[in-house]
Amino acid sequence: MVRLTAVGRSYGKGPHRVHALTDVTTAVAPGELVAVVGPSGSGKSTLLNLIGTLDRPSSGQVVVDGYRVDELDDRKLSALRAHRIGFVFQQFHLAAGTRAVDNVADGLLYTGMSRSRRRERAAAALHRVGLGHRLHHRSHELSGGERQRVAIARAVVGDPALLLADEPTGALDTRSGAMVLELLRELNASGTTVMVITHDTELAASLPRRLVMRDGRLVEDAGITATVTGPRPALELE
């Protein structure tokens, strides 16, 4: 699903140059559930953004779903992102004042589906995350945990192969955080490859595999490691 080869990402020039990532090589197989852990500033978000094709590496190679990201033009990159990758962030990023069902339906705008079809799919996704009774609530009428579940529903409504979550429990209380993690487990069990950044060591320890980052380097890969065979592109990018 993901292969990184000697990936580096730096910012700025000369004496102010920051090496956010240095020489990261790893792979994630389809169906894995992987925690990314490490201190603040260790390069976790940079890593996830590169895998999510929101950013390009300064050096090395990123392969996602069989595609070398550096060989795709912007249009194909957008298509890969839209069809194959879902994102969840710490701060939900929901449109304020918009009903849950419409926030989720917006995740399908790229598909060309009719509005009613999108809303149908959105309602189904909200049921899937346990919010079938909150379809018409607006963001400010939902709790933090519920907002994050709406954000997850939006991320998975298009049925992505890869779900990337950057500290999805960071802004939540323990109980809501546990529900969000349970949801990620369920999505993984139904076939979605999941990578989740977390500060919560207990949470991370409960996941099958942990990538440990320090000072921009991958310093430990703990837990089971599935055998990765070269993934082949699953769809033609339009």
Residues of this chain that interact with ligand ADP (CB under 6 A) are: 11-12, 18, 20, 38, 40-46
User: Which of ligand ADP, Mg ion, none has residue 11 at its interface (CB below 5 to 8 Å by kind)?
Assistant: ligand ADP
User: Which of ligand ADP, Mg ion, none has residue 101 at its interface (CB below 5 to 8 Å by kind)?
Assistant: none
User: Which of ligand ADP, Mg ion, none has residue 154 at its interface (CB below 5 to 8 Å by kind)?
Assistant: none
Question: Which phi and psi (to 5°) does residue 59 adopt?
Answer: -150, 160
Q: Among residues 216, 204, 210, 238, which one has the least CA distance to residue 81?
A: 238
End-to-end, the C-alpha distance of the chain in Å comes to: 20
Distance CA 154, CA 100 (A): 9
- Alpha-helical (H) ranges within 63-99 are 74-84
Contact 62, 52 (CB under 8 A): no
Q: How far is the CB of 166 from Mg ion (least distance, A)?
A: 6
Nearer to ligand ADP among residue 47 and residue 153 (C-beta):
47
Torsion sign over Cα 79, 80, 85, 88: negative
Nearer to ligand ADP among residue 44 and residue 83 (C-beta):
44
Distance CA 120, CA 126 (A): 10
Q: How far is the CB of 162 from ligand ADP (least distance, A)?
A: 18
185 Cβ neighbours under 8 A, 6+ residues apart = 33
User: Which of Mg ion, ligand ADP, none has residue 18 at its interface (CB below 5 to 8 Å by kind)?
Assistant: ligand ADP
Nearer to ligand ADP among residue 46 and residue 193 (C-beta):
46
Number of Cβ atoms within 10 Å of the Cβ of 153? 29
Contact positions vs Mg ion (CB under 5 A): 45
Q: How far is the CB of 181 from ligand ADP (least distance, A)?
A: 19
User: Which of Mg ion, ligand ADP, none has residue 41 at its interface (CB below 5 to 8 Å by kind)?
Assistant: ligand ADP
Nearer to Mg ion among residue 20 and residue 126 (C-beta):
20
Nearer to ligand ADP among residue 40 and residue 116 (C-beta):
40
